Chain A
Amino acid sequence: MGVIETYRLRLRRKRYIARAIRKRRELRNVVNRTKDVKKGNILAFSTQRNEKVRLPYFLEYYRDMGVDHFFIVDNDSDDGSVPYLAAQPDVSLWHTKASYKGSRFGVDWLNYLQWKYAHGHWTLVVDPDEFLVYPFCDTRPLPALTDWLDASEIKSFGAMLLDMYPKGRIDAQPYKEGMNPVEIASWFDAGNYTITPNHTYSNLWIQGGPRARKFFPEEPNRAPALNKTPLIKWDRSYVYVSSTHTVLPRGLNKVFDDNGGEKASGVLLHTKFIDTFGLKAKEELERGEHYAGSVEYKAYASGLVEDPDLWCKWSEKYINWRQLEILGLMSKGNWA
């Protein structure tokens, strides 16, 4: 990789940081409990819009895992999630009415908050419908992982997005506040993922899963990206480029081994496809605030009207991380 290329990426990184700082004006602080954050704490960053019903389980899941503080940007919710979040003792909350698309799907807002508050901390960037699973997560809390990463001098941890879905119509079983959504959306595709290396950012572009086979069988290149690097020992000079798929400096993207070995990695269980999805898709289509002209939502809307079932007879039912490890979706690497 040439010097020019490297320099161009450096400029791009600086520009994204500047952009994030500029976008701070769109954020209005609702509750700031950041002085509770202590050295060594693990921080979670998230944007949300009308996800009240999901939030209790989301917070509980990550609190149990060992996340110490949540930084949440609310994008103009009207379902009562703002007062709910404001009342949580470990949440700092910002509110904005600005365009989600205009902030590059929330990335700018979170980049700013991370720039300001996350320097030197392990940070986890997840949506309220994403649940991190990592090796030994049933017996070791998240700090065990981050301590090990520190000891091994690893700065970023990859966790691919795994789309979960229920058996039968996705709206057959209603989701109630506090429920584990994986109990409803407990199925996934085990082995239909494709990987394309991206040499500019030295990351892997992963596609596939139920969305590719159900909504994009005719134009697979438009299927959504599933590679993610949600857990990073943050530094002020880092910046996410597009969602948590890509981060700069690009060394952080290299969460894979290209010599044949396996690095440790996890999975983000993506529980988007439950009964709340129909409503969400409808609303998002009207707002047009999502990626690539909401092409995904359009495809989903039409696909799910015709046949609202993502399940097939080869779908795999989720059991635990060891199952995902055996299937080859994640790896323990040399963490034993």
Chain B
Amino acid sequence: MTLGVVMLVHNALHRAEQVARHWAASGCPVVLHVDANVKRKQHDAFVEALSDEPLITFCSRHRCEWGTWGIVAGSQAASEKLLHDFPEVRHVMLASGSCLPLRPVQELVDYLSDNPRTDFIESATTSDVPWTVGGLDEERFTLLFPFSWKKQRWMFDRYVAIQRWFKVKREIPKGIVPHMGSQWWCLTRRTLSAILTDPDRPAYDAYFRKVWIPDESYFQTLCRLWSTDVQSRSLTLSKFDHLGKPHIFYDDHLQLLRRSDCFMARKIWAKADLLYESFLTDAAHAMKKSEPNPGKIDRVFSRASELRIHGRPGLYMQSRFPWGQWNDSVTCAPYTVFEGFADIFQDWEGWLSKHTDARVHGHIFAENWVEFSGRDKTFSGAMYDSPKLRDYNSRAFLTNLIWNTRGERQCFQFGPWDAQYIQWDLATDPNASIYVITGAWSLQHFRSNADFADIRRDAAWRQKIESEHLHALKSPHAKANIRILTMTEFIESPMEHLQTIINDIGGDGAHRLTEAPKMHDLRGFGKFLQTLKNEGMHPYLMGDYPMDDIPQRRSSRPRKPYLIKK
């Protein structure tokens, strides 16, 4: 017999009883420390229930509250009793009522016999550990903590602030270097009794009594004085979330726990019947061993913490709604906005979908309808073709569109005919790539048959809208990938620009462009602009478009004349 167990219990006593009996059945003595907060009646019934087992005994009770000395005092009392009553014990394991052995006790005993002088205790200096509940790391050891973190938080915080103000710095007893680590350890009789019988113990106890969370530092620090072989790791698997609360294991973690290489795990949910049933059996009934894969447990829990802290960017939902400075990206994935292209090219959408893997929409922010790709009434995620619904919350419309189509790049058209509510969200979204051919919207006027006076007025209005939009795109707040060309610049060498865009979008379609999209007939556009100018409007967004049209070099094939056959 080489292993004894010190068990700290405060609730779910029936589970503690089960686990204690499990240890005793394998010949390991157990000393239980029952929290003084447990009612006398409950305590007495618990003691009575275990009275038939000589290997299970109880020690004096202390009041245990999270982060206070009581837990250490309890561990000390129980350890003293264990070492005294069971002289054959060589290793002492500290466990809680919600710890569960994951491997047969004999395996643990054998393992410890192979390492008779090793102390398994996680113990690191304060500068090396990342867990700092309440932003206190080194100060745990240099300030005083007479107030409860849980029940007297206000006083706790004030008192810390006051001490910082007065630069209080407690003296750390000579000879010790504060270490911290998991509360759950397994020490040799040699080390443990040296700690407990140290003539300086009263001084250390007095010091640690006022340290914050001494159960994570008392044994972790003092073992360094005595131990000849510290293995700085815990035999007990326990995972903590971002607030320092332990993760809890449930029945559905069974396979995960089986693949852990740890001897113990905590915390186990008290009602996880399947876990208790599966692990509290003797070696003969133990489940077949499976290949240990402790990394998997780690991944599951670190992913959970990651989700809680950072969430899924670009997702807005009932329990994630970032705003202000924390919301650095609007959407969840890259997408592309085209402005003016559809005015210059015939069947621009068709051409673009042919040459990229992207989903190409029309003007999804058009004033009177939502031009989903294929002009469907509904789209992914059951989005609906209703401009009112869209404009009611156009940002949600955009983020939904991009979220619903994760894995597929979205492209859509935008222009001065569209509802403009969304423009700042587009400009400030790092996921957006915005390609603008300024002034191209005027081709719609150019092709229109409307009364020229109306055209002139409308053109002035659209120009104003676009120039405000450009103001947003050029503002220092804009984070999108933005490329602005005047219509004149673009038309001079359209293929070069298209090639860059196609390369930016990427995907399998990113190759050398061989086929140009068909441009609308621009003959006479220069004259049209001149007419606008003559009428007193100043169309400047198109760039310096020559009166005699630009020869369209790249889409070189001569246009077929339109023949009307009789």
Chain A interface residues toward B at CB < 8 A = 136, 139-141, 143-144, 147-148, 151-152, 158-160, 189-197, 204, 206, 209-210, 212-213, 216-221, 227, 255-265, 312-316, 328-336
Contact = CB atoms under 8 A, between A and B. Distances in A.
A213 B386 contact: yes
Contacts of A261: 307-311, 320
B50 interface: no
B418 interface: no
A194 B310 contact: no
Contacts of A336: 247, 300-301, 303-304
A19 to B, nearest CB: 28
B326 interface: yes
Contact of A263 (B271, B308, B400): B308
A194 B393 contact: yes
Give the residue among B305, B309, B396 with the most A Cβ atoms within 10 A. Answer: B396
A255 B308 contact: no
B381 A314 contact: yes
B271 A333 contact: no
Interface stretch (B196-204, B213-221, B248-256, B537-545): B248-256
Nearest to A157: B319
A314 B313 CA distance: 23
A335 B307 CA distance: 10
Contacts of A190: 381-382, 404
Interface in B155-178: none
Interface string B50-66: 00000000000000000
B317 interface: yes
17 contacts: A141-B271, A152-B243, A190-B382, A192-B384, A195-B317, A204-B321, A206-B318, A260-B309, A260-B311, A260-B326, A262-B311, A262-B315, A314-B379, A331-B311, A333-B319, A334-B307, A336-B247
A194 B392 contact: yes
A281 to B, nearest CB: 22
Contact of B400 (A139, A192, A262): A192
Given A139-B252, A192-B400, A334-B308, A265 B382 contact: no
Given A140-B251, A144-B250, A193 B396 contact: yes
B407 interface: no
B547 interface: no
Contacts of B241: 152, 334
Residue from B311, B317, B383, B386 with most neighbouring chain A CB atoms (10 Å): B317
B386 A140 contact: no
B146 to A, nearest CB: 22
A152 B379 CA distance: 39
Interface string B236-279: 00000111010110111000000000000000011100000000
A331 B307 contact: yes
Given A152-B243, A258-B324, A334-B241, A328 B308 contact: no
Given A139-B252, A190-B382, A260-B320, A333 B307 contact: yes
B323 interface: yes
Contact of A195 (B301, B326, B396): B396
A98 B387 CA distance: 42
Identify the interface centre among A143, A332, A336: most chain B CB within 10 Å of its CB.
A336
B396 A258 contact: no
Contacts of B397: 194
Given A191-B382, A212-B389, A314-B379, A334 B319 contact: no
A139 B251 contact: yes
Contacts of B381: 189-192, 314
B327 interface: yes
Interface string B359-392: 0000000000000000001111111101011001
Max chain B Cβ within 10 angstroms of own Cβ: one of A139, A218, A316, A331: A331
A333 B245 CA distance: 14
Please provide the 8 A-B residue pairs with the shortest distance between their CB atoms, ordered closest to farther.
A191-B381, A334-B308, A336-B304, A265-B319, A217-B386, A189-B382, A213-B384, A194-B393
B403 interface: yes
B386 A331 contact: no
